[in-house]
């Protein structure tokens, strides 16, 4: 890392952000809001989405290929903007990289441990994230007395991707998924999948006012800012809003990704380019 | 083909069947029912499922890899038990193979063209299958006067995979998806995705008694029998129900596949083996 840090202008290099598809855009959005001077190279693995129902071995292989691609793009730091990849592949990625890398799980877990008053925290996510117990592990490291209850919600991702953001069907499915968490009297709920902030209002309504929703996307962007500051990597040069500021790559269906991204991001994305991720 | 056909015992070779995941098991099940003497090698691409929302280029690449794997298994014929792959990759696969290959689309289209009385046929399937207009093309080749109306139903696959086979939520989503087809007064509906036979009773109830549901899985098995007979490839030797009769391979999550398969197939599947499909 030291070598690169001393390189002229290295702090102006982009941050790499990746996800299985479009969900990680909620993380990219928070980075754009909180540290608007940073350039971003985003990769969405739209050819192999979803990650949530796949094995650790497969997710690790995919994540390594993506990290190789991002390294080729000369990123100064990498944000794993996918809970499943953060749950399964962080260790492997950290071992491989000589630049700072940040997942979405740790920042989310940290805040949840801080904000719970009754020591009962719920986590919703994909099958993979919940099965990995990664949130439980991190939260218990911070405070072993907190009780963490996970619930996999496999239909949320397809519902969001189908555009059912505010819909009675989503309400009904959410009510079923969340029932056991309500019964457990949690006071904090982690949205443990980057798609979920898009149905935040539904989730909030069902859980009720007394439950705090934790959005790891927000916490991750905040922690990224701290990390870049500490490493003296914060881009102090204001960037123009040119073509080069935010770059988007996908492994399939660039057009569809672009439409979806434009519905989430404030800044229109200029274009998404398809690459062959299996070559990395 | 001639060389292989003359090979001693070639008719006893297995039939290769592949799908993006578990959906193609409805086709395998029909083959088991209708031609019980046949051995089957099944491949489910569970690492890269679903295919329905991916591009033609990507689906063709994946299909070619799978076909190479099945060829290595010495199959005498291949059934593309996935509508999206049949819609996008059949030509490419046929060009590459010197053994008979059969998709699920043509047999389904043929029967629909035969059974419609009012000349109005509906097709439901994944985004990819509907966008390809493949059913329309085949049906119009047989009878240009038939009006074909397609409707993509992207949530059906995740609902089936989540086990919501008989559920008010599935009813509600199906009612929305099928509304425009009911309004169009179709009398025949093609279940253009191999997952859909698993929610057949819901679909039948919503469409009403006057609409004939066409299950391409059934028609494909029937056509396979005809094809093998014509090519003198029918396995005349009764097989024992040993380990080797039906073999299952997947690209990920073999355990989960096994549980799902056992809930669909009458014969318990003995085991599913994971292979690295990207190597083919």
pLDDT single digits (tens) A181-238: 999 999 999 999 999 999 999 999 999 999 999 999 999 999 999 999 999 999 988 6
Interchain proximity B47–A58, CB inside 8 Å: yes
Residue whose pair of structure tokens reads 């989540």 in the numeric block? B162
Residue in A closest to B169 by C-alpha: A169
Q: Please tell me the distance from the alpha carbon of residue B206 to that of residue B191, in angstroms, as a whole number.
A: 14
Confidence of residue A78 (pLDDT cuts 50, 70, 90): very high
Cβ contacts (< 8 Å) between B158 and chain A: which residues?
154-155, 157-158
The active-site residue out of B31, B193, B211, B233 is B193
The active-site residue out of B82, B124, B261, B277 is B82
Confidence of residue B1 (pLDDT cuts 50, 70, 90): very low
Residue whose pair of structure tokens reads 């890269």 in the numeric block? B48
3-state secondary structure of A189: strand
Q: Which of A66, A103, A102 lies closest to A83 in space, CA to CA? A: A103
pLDDT at A268: 67
With DSSP H G I counted as helix, E B as strand and the rest as coil, what are the percentages for chain A, rounded to 5? 50, 15, 35
Shortest Cα–Cα distance, A181 to chain B (Å): 19
ipTM of the complex: 0.86
> Length of chain B in residues, anyone?
280
Confidence of residue B220 (pLDDT cuts 50, 70, 90): very high
pLDDT at B77: 98
Shortest Cα–Cα distance, A46 to chain B (Å): 8
- B193: annotated active-site residue: yes
Q: Which residues of B touch A (CB under 8 A)?
A: 46-49, 53-55, 57-58, 154-155, 157-159, 161-162, 164, 168-169, 172-173, 251-253, 256, 278
Interchain proximity B173–A169, CB inside 8 Å: yes
Confidence of residue A161 (pLDDT cuts 50, 70, 90): confident
Q: Please tell me the distance from the alpha carbon of residue B129 to that of residue B123, in angstroms, as a whole number.
A: 9
Residue in B closest to A155 by C-alpha: B158
Task: Give the Å distances, CA to CA, from B13 to A212, B70, B235, B275.
Answer: 60, 12, 8, 21
Six token digits for residue A71: 């390294």
Q: Please tell me the distance from the alpha carbon of residue A87 to that of residue A108, in angstroms, as a whole number.
A: 12
Interchain proximity B252–A55, CB inside 8 Å: yes
Interchain proximity B253–A168, CB inside 8 Å: no
Confidence of residue B263 (pLDDT cuts 50, 70, 90): confident
pLDDT at B2: 46
∠ at Cα B49 (A168, B251), nearest 5°? 145
Q: Please tell me the distance from the alpha carbon of residue B53 to that of residue B23, in angstroms, as a whole number.
A: 15
Interchain proximity B48–A48, CB inside 8 Å: yes
A252 has a pLDDT exceeding 60: yes
Interchain proximity B154–A162, CB inside 8 Å: yes
Cβ contacts (< 8 Å) between B59 and chain A: which residues?
none
Q: Please tell me the distance from the alpha carbon of residue A273 to that of residue A268, in angstroms, as a whole number.
A: 15
Out of A46, A155, A168, closest to residue B158 by CB: A155
Shortest Cα–Cα distance, B169 to chain A (Å): 7
* Four-residue CA torsion sign, A75, A49, A256, A265: negative
Residue in A closest to B48 by C-alpha: A48
Average pLDDT, integer, range A127-136 = 95
DSSP string for residues in B194-223: TTGGGGHHHHHHHH-TTSEEE-HHHHHHHH
Interchain proximity B169–A169, CB inside 8 Å: yes
Q: Which residues of A touch B (CB under 8 A)?
A: 46-48, 53-55, 57-58, 154-155, 157-159, 161-162, 164, 168-169, 172-173, 251-253, 256, 278
Q: Which of B263, B225, B270 lies closest to B248 in space, CA to CA? A: B270
pLDDT at A241: 55
B240 has a pLDDT exceeding 80: no
Interchain proximity B168–A172, CB inside 8 Å: yes
Confidence of residue B16 (pLDDT cuts 50, 70, 90): very high
- CB contact at 8 A, B156 and B199: yes
Q: Please tell me the distance from the alpha carbon of residue B23 to that of residue A29, in angstroms, as a whole number.
A: 36
Q: How many CB pairs under 8 A join A and B?
A: 57
Phi/psi of residue B81, nearest 5 degrees: -90, 40
Residue whose pair of structure tokens reads 């009780």 in the numeric block? A147
Percent of chain B scoring above 70 in pLDDT = 95
Cβ contacts (< 8 Å) between B154 and chain A: which residues?
158, 161-162
Shortest Cα–Cα distance, B178 to chain A (Å): 15
Interface test with B, best of A48, A56, A165 (most B CBs within 10 A): A48
Confidence of residue B237 (pLDDT cuts 50, 70, 90): confident
Out of B55, B161, B253, closest to residue A55 by CB: B253
Average pLDDT taken over every residue of chain B:
93
A41 has a pLDDT exceeding 70: yes
Out of A55, A172, A252, closest to residue B55 by CB: A252
Cβ contacts (< 8 Å) between B253 and chain A: which residues?
53-55
pLDDT at A242: 62
Q: Please tell me the distance from the alpha carbon of residue A113 to that of residue A138, in angstroms, as a whole number.
A: 9
Six token digits for residue A104: 């979405």
Q: Where are the beta strands (DSSP E) in chain B?
A: 15-19, 40-44, 77-80, 101-103, 120-125, 147-152, 188-191, 212-214, 246-250, 272-274
Confidence of residue A116 (pLDDT cuts 50, 70, 90): very high
Percent of chain B scoring above 90 in pLDDT = 86
3-state secondary structure of A77: strand
Interchain proximity B55–A159, CB inside 8 Å: no
pLDDT at A5: 52
Q: Which of B75, B66, B92 lies closest to B4 in space, CA to CA? A: B75
Cβ contacts (< 8 Å) between B193 and chain A: which residues?
none
Average pLDDT, integer, range B30-34 = 95
Return the higher-pLDDT residue of A163 and B31: B31
Cβ contacts (< 8 Å) between A161 and chain B: which residues?
53, 154
Confidence of residue B243 (pLDDT cuts 50, 70, 90): low
Task: Give the Å distances, CA to CA, from A39 to A42, A104, A107, A217, B207.
Answer: 10, 19, 21, 17, 52
Average pLDDT, integer, range A122-134 = 95
Among A19-33, A103-117, A257-271, B173-187, the minimum mean pLDDT is found in: A257-271
pLDDT 10s digits, B102-147? 999 999 999 999 999 999 999 999 999 999 999 999 999 999 999 9
Local structure of residue B104 (DSSP, 8 states): S
Q: Please tell me the distance from the alpha carbon of residue B71 to that of residue B97, in angstroms, as a whole number.
A: 9
Q: Which residues, at least 6 apart from B82, have a Cβ–Cβ distance to it below 8 Å?
A: B18, B19, B20, B23, B24, B51, B104, B194
pLDDT at B268: 67
pLDDT at A1: 44
Q: Please tell me the distance from the alpha carbon of residue B131 to that of residue A255, in angstroms, as a whole number.
A: 14
Out of A162, A168, A172, closest to residue B155 by CB: A162
Average pLDDT, integer, range A62-91 = 97
């Amino acid at each position: 890392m030291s070598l690169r840090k001393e390189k002229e202008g290295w702090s102006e290099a982009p941050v790499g952000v990746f996800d299985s598809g479009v969900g990680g855009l909620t993380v990219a959005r928070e980075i754009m809001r909180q540290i608007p001077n940073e350039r971003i190279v985003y990769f969405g693995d739209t050819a192999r989405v979803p990650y949530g129902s796949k094995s650790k071995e497969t997710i690790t292989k995919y994540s390594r290929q993506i990290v190789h691609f991002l390294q080729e793009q000369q990123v100064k730091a990498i944000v794993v903007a996918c809970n499943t990849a953060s749950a399964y592949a962080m260790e492997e990625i950290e071992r491989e990289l000589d630049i700072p890398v940040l997942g979405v799980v740790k920042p989310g877990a940290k805040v949840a441990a801080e904000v719970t008053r009754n020591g009962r925290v719920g986590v919703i996510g994909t099958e993979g994230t919940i099965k990995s117990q990664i949130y439980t592990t991190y939260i218990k490291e911070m405070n072993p007395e907190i009780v963490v209850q996970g619930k996999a919600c496999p239909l949320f991702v397809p519902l969001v991707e189908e555009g059912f953001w505010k819909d009675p069907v989503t309400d009904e499915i959410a009510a079923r998924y969340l029932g056991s968490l309500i019964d457990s009297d949690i006071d904090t709920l982690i949205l443990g999948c980057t798609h979920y902030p898009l149905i935040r209002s539904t989730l909030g309504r069902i859980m009720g006012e007394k439950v705090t929703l934790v959005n790891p996307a927000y916490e991750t962007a905040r922690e990224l800012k701290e990390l870049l500051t500490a490493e003296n990597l914060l881009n102090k040069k204001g960037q123009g809003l040119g073509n080069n500021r935010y770059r988007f790559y996908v492994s399939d269906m660039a057009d569809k990704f672009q439409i979806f991204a434009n519905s989430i991001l404030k800044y229109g994305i200029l274009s998404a380019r398809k690459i062959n991720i299996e070559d990395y």
